[in-house]
Structure 1
Amino acid sequence: MLFAVLFTDKPGHGPLRAEHLQAHVDWVAQHQDMVLVAGSLRNEPSDVPRGGLWIVEAPSKDVVHALMRTDPFWTCGLRQGVEVLHWRKALDQQVLV
């Protein structure tokens, strides 16, 4: 199954995000078999991210939750909240990049 995972970061925690960014990027690379797409969300390109979005392939929401709890951004306390939603591609021929 595919899931969209929406993260909200704690406001004012940009320095914590910067401190753990490389560990997070390395973690995403190690889990790209499940985390198909990942990236930050911002109001403007130059803004500090407000959170992130993942597209995850997993057998259940429980597996997604267990996975995200091992992410350095989660373990360092950056995340304020998370929403895990079932997601379906509108056009099957589109490739996730």
Structure 2
Amino acid sequence: MLFAVIFTDKPGHGPLRAEHLQAHVEWVARHQETVLVAGSLRTQPEAVPKGGLWVVEAPSKEAVLELMKSDPFHRCGLRQEVEVLHWNKALEKKVLV
């Protein structure tokens, strides 16, 4: 099953995010078979992220929540809110040249 996971960070916690960013990026790389897409969400390209978005392939919502618990951003207390939604892909992947 595919899931969209939307994270909202605690306001004013940019320094905490920066402190744990490298560990988070390494964690995502280790879980790329499950976390298919991951990235930050910002109001402007240069702004401090307000949260993040993942597309995850997992057997259940509970499995997604369990996986998330080991993410350094979750473990350090950065996340204010998380929403896990079932996601249905509408279009097939396009190849960019």
TM > 0.5? yes
Counterpart for residue 49 of structure 1: 49
Give the C-alpha shift of residue 43 in structure 1. Answer: 0.2
Give the C-alpha shift of residue 50 in structure 1. Answer: 0.1
Q: Does 1:7 align with 2:21?
A: no
**Distance between the aligned counterparts of 2:50 and 2:69, measured in 1?**
18
The Cα offsets for residues 60-89 of structure 1, whole Å up to 9 and x where unpaired, read as 000000000100000000000000000011
SS in 2 for 1:8: strand
SS in 2 for 1:4: strand
Structure 1 stretches of 4+ with a deviation exceeding 4 A read none
Give the C-alpha shift of residue 57 in structure 1. Answer: 0.1
The Cα offsets for residues 8-62 of structure 1, whole Å up to 9 and x where unpaired, read as 0000000000000000000000000100000000000010000000000000000
Unaligned runs of 5+ in 1: none
Counterpart residue identity of residue 90, structure 1: A
Percentage of identical aligned residues: 74
- Count matched residues: 94
Counterpart residue identity of residue 48, structure 2: V
SS in 1 for 2:15: helix
Counterpart residue identity of residue 66, structure 2: A
Question: Residues 66-81 of structure 1 correspond to what in structure 2 (within 5 A)?
Answer: 66-81=66-81
Unaligned runs of 5+ in 2: none
